[in-house]
Amino acid sequence: MTDARPSRWNRLVAFWDARETGESMALLRIGAGLTVFATMVLLIYREIPDVIWVDFKDGGYRSLGSGQHLVRRLGGPSPGLTWTLVWTACISSVFVTLGLFGRVSIFVLLVSYLNLHRLNGETSGSSDIVITNALWMLLLTRATVTWSVDCYIKNRRWSSDELITAWPRYLLILQIVLLYGTTGIQKVSAYWLPIGGWSALYYILQQPTWGRFDHSWAAYVFPLTQIGTLVTWLWEAGAPLLLLVLYYRNTADRPGRLRRWFNRWDLRWVWAVIGITMHLMILVFMVVGPFSPITLSLYFCVFRPAEWRAWLGKLGQRLGRGSNAPAVDEDPA
């Protein structure tokens, strides 16, 4: 008698072969597209590319060398090439937001943005890496099958039930966990811990480098900043628990007291509310570029496409437009 159960490898293959509808990735596509568009418009308006992405001999603030990949092949970071890439990124981000030209517009945006931000390591930061990592995953799935102009052109409807591969969404969930988890455990300063009086957030707000305005008010609400420090550190370092939450939700029919306890509430919402609050505070108090909007865009991936469809369908009904959105189904992850 042979064992009918698939091998561990085949179960893994089946897991990464899962299909789902495209709502979560469509929302990420719109979030990422808008984030890059806003970033590029601000750069163009303030003429920042002439400062950071143009060589010193052409008016920039430092020597940039020959650039990477595409820039090197096209002769180095001349003002003409830099501005071509800037406008290409700006225009393609509009196409990505609208969901026009499928993977082509995502590829063009990825290549132009990647080559721009890697021109100058001094001005590139975590937000740029989150943006390009998200664009890679959008490129590797068909992120314009629904809620896009492409979908309307093909089906004469704005939404579609067409299935896409789910693994890019799974990898983006892993990306979120890595991003928060490793930044949390690298917060090794004494100020993040009791020996420094949980005062990290207070002192970060006092740095003129990143503050949007003067934060001397923080001295009068110091205990609140201490609570903020503790919650931020615990929430970030505890990010791997999100994987456990998702695993337990996905295997809710199995036994186990811990699993039952985890599934008593939808802990994804607890996680998301803390994260959204933290990022909104960063947006209000600090100037750190597009880190908050692009990271919040990744949150769309934590919830299943069918859930987004049901929630937005209900919202549509409430707004009086009517919707035939189906109930939440039980697809994996």
Partner 1 sequence: MSPEQQRPEGFRGWWPHIRTALILFHICAVCLMAFPAPQGALQKSSWDDPSVKNEMHMWAERSRSIGFTWNDVEFRDFLWDASKAILEVRRWVLWPFMPYMNWTGARQSWRMFSAPHRYPVRLFIEVEQDGIWRPVYVGRSDEYTWMRDTFDHHRIRRIIFLHGWKRYDRRWSTFGKWIARHAAEDFPDATRVRIRQWKFRTPSPEELRDGKREIGGKFQRELRFDLQGYR
Considering only residues 126 through 155, tell me which ones interact with partner 1, judged by CB under 8 A: 126, 129, 132-133, 136
Binding range to partner 1, per CB under 8 A, among 101-109, 201-209, 243-251, 269-277: 201-209
For residue 137, what are the CA distances in angstroms to 26, 29, 232?
12, 10, 27
Instruction: Read off the DSSP letter of residue 286.
Output: B
Tokens representing 26 are 């469509």
- Considering only residues 264 through 293, tell me which ones interact with partner 1, judged by CB under 8 A: 287-289
Binding range to partner 1, per CB under 8 A, among 84-92, 101-109, 198-206, 297-305: 198-206
d(CA 260, CA 249): 9
Q: Which is nearer to partner 1, 17 or 161 (CB)?
A: 17
Crossing angle for the helix pair 267-285 and 222-237, nearest 10 degrees? 130
Q: Which is nearer to partner 1, 64 or 151 (CB)?
A: 64
Establish if 60 lies at the interface with partner 1 (CB under 8 A). yes
**Total Cβ atoms within 10 A of residue 214:** 10
Instruction: State the nearest-atom distance from the C-beta of 159 to partner 1, in Å.
Output: 27
Instruction: State the nearest-atom distance from the C-beta of 191 to partner 1, in Å.
Output: 5
Instruction: State in Å, rounded, how far the first CA of the chain is from the last one.
Output: 33
- Considering only residues 223 through 252, tell me which ones interact with partner 1, judged by CB under 8 A: none
Binding range to partner 1, per CB under 8 A, among 79-87, 200-208, 254-262, 309-317: 200-208
Give the DSSP letter string of 33-55: HHHHHHHHHHHHHTTTHHHHSSB
Instruction: State the nearest-atom distance from the C-beta of 277 to partner 1, in Å.
Output: 17
Q: Name beta bridge partners: 62.
A: 55
Query: What number of chain residues touch partner 1 (CB under 8 A)?
Result: 73
d(CA 128, CA 149): 26
